Amino acid sequence: MSNGRDLLALDRAHVWHPYGPMPGKNEPYLVESAEGVLLKLAGGREVVDGMSSWWAAIHGYRHPVLDTALAEQAGRMSHVMFGGLTHQPAIDLATNLVELAPDGLEHVFLADSGSVSVEVAIKMALQAQLALGRPRRRRLLTWRGGYHGDTFHPMTVCDPVGGMHSLWTGVLPVQVFADVPPVEFDQGYADGLRALIAEHADDVAAVIVEPVVQGAGGMRFHHPEYLRVLREATAAYGICLIFDEIATGFGRTGEFFGADHAGVSPDIMCMGKALTGGYLTLAATLCTTAVAEAISAGEGGGLAHGPTFMGNPLACAVANASLGLLRDTDWRSHVRVIESGLRGGLEPLRGVPGVDDVRVLGAIGVVQLDRPVDMAKATAAAVDAGVWLRPFRDLIYTMPPYVASPDDVARIVAGITAAVAAT
């Protein structure tokens, strides 16, 4: 291993990190390896990963089953183009995803990142409306507080004010926004949603939301009944309903998909993040036969999209292995144990000065402060307590790998508590 100091100097000179200036404001931590729930930092410190590498590493690091699937697939082929060719890893994955997804989602478009899968979902909805002879339906409707990715069209449906993209106001197409959905069911809010959809039935192609949990837009939870309201209202006007399950999918909220809390099937659904257990970048956009048939019968005769690395066999093979692990392990009770550990551990923070709210759902724990977090101080305090956290805005939060033991969860709680005290 090269000298850590030299590496960090080169990192500072050349490497751009997420959402930061160049060079970065705070020095990143150098990771040398990772195993189970632990990230092993240069200099010998080991920290429990409270972030699952941004929702992805649900089985932890260096899982033998996933490592083997990857190595075996590399022994056959790492990649081939997907135009005119196909292969078993992609076929198996599409078949698995259709089986796991809510009813009616029968067709799978494999994309190379979450943002691209949202681009594809939007393109599917717009192309379907066009093909059905409704070219004026070009806008999107969502609620505030959402996050759908960093490429340009997904940015338009991120929270317009509090999101990371407020600097693009005036540049991006303006979409239709409802207020942030309330935590509890509110009849007035539901009626307002219905009225907004009715009002925009002529110019909206699709409604897109994150079901049950809004992630990077603010880590908020809402009542699943709103998903049924959206399903009814969109169906009444032939508007597509898109669920972005990139953060909520694969058990994170306590159900396999966020949609399962409401028993609702969207017309189009995005999956990503935990799809490969955190090993490789891969996402998927699923749609119904009605959407697929509309697009395929329309002008152009197909979906105008085809990434170079579409259906990458390494990523598909690891995704299949990750789905196999979910099938063969009792992820539901692991998530429940994490949930009760987070609830018991974080609830006492409610009384701490500066803490505005504490909320837990499935394997997600959130502490919201009454002020912006001092990221460097909070992160350093957590690392000193043996935990990796990445707070943002006024939020210190965790979504541990499902393999985290009660002791690991207790350590994460201690890390969050230290981060709250330090900021």
Ligand X SMILES: *Cc1c(COP(=O)(O)O)cnc(C)c1O
- Binding residues for ligand X (CB under 6 A): 113-115, 118, 147-149, 210, 215-216, 244, 246-247, 272-273
DSSP assignment string, 178-204: EPPPPSS--HHHHHHHHHHHHHTTTTE
Q: How far is the CB of 310 from ligand X (least distance, A)?
A: 15
Question: Running DSSP on this structure, what letter comes out for residue 400?
Answer: -
- Which lies closer to ligand X via its Cβ, residue 96 or residue 285? 285
- Compute the least distance from the CB of residue 330 to ligand X, in Å: 25
Q: For residues 130 and 212, which CB has a smaller minimum distance to ligand X in the complex?
A: 212
360: nearest Cα among 334, 397, 388: 397
In this structure, what are the phi and psi dihedrals at residue 392, rounded to the nearest 5 degrees?
-145, 155
The answer to whether residues 252 and 363 touch, using CB atoms and an 8 Å cutoff, is yes
Q: In terms of CB distance, is 277 or 341 closer to ligand X? A: 277
For 84, counting Cβ atoms within 10 Å of its Cβ (0-12 exposed, 13-18 middle, 19+ buried), the class is exposed
Q: How far is C-alpha 260 from the chain's CA centre?
A: 16
In the bound complex, which residue of the shown chain has the CB atom lying closest to ligand X? 114
Supply the residues annotated as catalytic: 19, 147, 244, 273
In whole angstroms, the minimum distance from the beta carbon of 363 to ligand X comes to 15
- For residue 276, what are its two tokens? 């490969």
Distance of CA 57 to the CA centre of its chain: 12
Task: Find the shortest distance in angstroms from Cβ 146 to ligand X.
Answer: 8
- Closest contact distance (angstroms) between CB of 266 and ligand X is 14
Q: Which is nearer to ligand X, 244 or 267 (CB)?
A: 244
CB 239, CB 134: distance < 8 Å? no
Nearest C-alpha neighbor of 399 from the set 407, 390, 97: 390
**Cβ closest to ligand X, residue 122 vs residue 246:** 246
The three-state secondary structure class of 303 is: coil
β-sheet bridge partners, residue 143: 178
